[in-house]
Structure formats: structure tokens, C-alpha cells
Amino acid sequence: MSSKEEIERMVNQWLRFVEELMRNEGLPIVPDEKTGDPIWVDVRDMRFKYLIPVKRIKKFFDGLREGKVYATKCPVKGIYYFPPQADCPACMDENVEWVEIKGEGELITFTKIFIKPFSFMHYPDYIVAIARMDEGFNILCWLSTDNPEEVKPGMRVKLVVKRREPEGFFSYYLEPSTPS
């Protein structure tokens, strides 16, 4: 598997080739890599960077900075919401309470991602897991462990807050519980 930098280098090299070809031949048409069929290479670029409002769940992110993971809970029906949400559709209200997750749970399932999205290629192969927390709701996030071969459904796990490197933003992770 090529690294992110290698792929970027290959893509840029290819784009330069197309630009040159367009200049020389007058058209951005290249042969398909497998069949040789003529392919027009889009001249326009579109970059997406989504701007996502988090005002109503800001407490969650404030919590991460303090090393805490919060869920919301409906005070009327006792329903936990994770990921946290500011609205309770069950009672048509927005009076949810913020509660810190105790952080102990049981692993339900997991996978290890080998073929990663381009925007994740700079991380080592990672385990994504789903755990049922003792409060009764599930959390999906990365599971970090020094012993990946010991990861099994049913094992006890705990929730921790760490910075995601190399970017440095706070995120939450599952880890195997240390036997007490």
C-alpha cells in the first residue's frame, strides 16, 4: 500500500501530464488505463470543506478538553443519547441533561481497517469498535491496544480521552480494561 505522500505525488504528476497534453493536443483527453477508451479529464476542481454547527452540543467538546465524555439524557423518560443530542424526540422537548459517561463497558464488535480512506492514510491501520456501556447505550470509536490479537467481542473495555495525533484534536477511544 502506498503512503499518502506517494499517492499525492502520483496524482500531481498525472495532473501535470494532463495539463501538458491539453496544451500540446488542445484537448484534455487521455486513454483509459485499462481499455484505452478516450476519457475527458474534468478541467474544473471542486474542494469540499464542510462547516458543521456544533453550538447545541458544545458541552460535549468542552468535556473532551477536560478529559470527560458526555452523553445527554432525557430527565423525563430516562433515555440516554449518544452521540449527544440537544433535542428529545420522545417527549418533543429540548430539556435534556448532560451526564458524564462512567466509561466502563463491554465490546460488542469491531473491525480493523486495512484499506483506508485517503484522508485517513496517514494513520496506522486502526481498529473501529462498538461497545455497550454499562449505562446501556453503545459507543462507536477507535479501540487502541498494544495487543490487537487479544481483542474479542465480550471483553471489558473502558473509555478514555486522548488527543488524535498528528492533528492534535481531542477524541475518545476505547481501551481494554485493566483487570482490577
Partner 1 sequence: MGHAAIVGIGHSRFGRAPDKQLHELAWQAIRQALQDAGVTQRDIQFLVVGNAGGWSSELLPAVVVGEYAGLTPVGSMRVEAACASGSAALRAAATAVESGKADIALAVGVEKMTESTTMQIVEMIGRAGSFFWEFEHFGLTFPGYYAMYATAYMHEYRAKEEDLAAVAVKNHYYASLNPYAHFQKQITIEDVMKSRYVAWPLKLYDCSPQTDGAAAVVVASEEMAKKLTDTPIWIRAQGVATGTANLSKRDNFLSLEPAVLAAEQAYKQVGIERSQSYKYFDVAEVHDCFTIAEIIAYEDLGFVERGQGYALAREGETYKGGRIPVNLDGGLKAKGHPIAATGVSMAVELTKQLRQQNPESRQADIKKGLAVAHNIGGTGHYAYVTIFSLNKDVRFT
Q: Which residues bind Zn ion (CB under 5 A)?
A: 74, 76-77, 88, 90-91
Nearer to partner 1, 124 or 180 (CB): 124
Query: At closest approach, how far in Å is the CB of 76 from partner 1?
Result: 20
Residue 4: Cβ-neighbour burial (10 angstroms; 0-12, 13-18, 19+)? middle
- One of 13, 24, 42, 55 touching partner 1 (CB under 8 A): 42
Question: Residue 91 binds which one of Zn ion, partner 1, none, with CB within 5 to 8 A depending on kind?
Answer: Zn ion
Would residue 67 be called left, alpha or beta, if left means φ above 0 and alpha means ψ between -120 and 50 degrees? left
Question: Residue 76 binds which one of partner 1, Zn ion, none, with CB within 5 to 8 A depending on kind?
Answer: Zn ion
| Residue whose entry in the numeric block shows the C-alpha cell 485493566 | 178
* d(C-alpha 142, C-alpha 145), whole Å: 10
Residue 3 engages partner 1 in binding (rule: CB under 8 A)? no
Of 76, 95, 78, nearest in space to 87 by CA:
95
Query: At closest approach, how far in Å is the CB of 61 from Zn ion?
Result: 23
Residue 109 engages partner 1 in binding (rule: CB under 8 A)? yes
The three-class DSSP label of residue 48 is coil
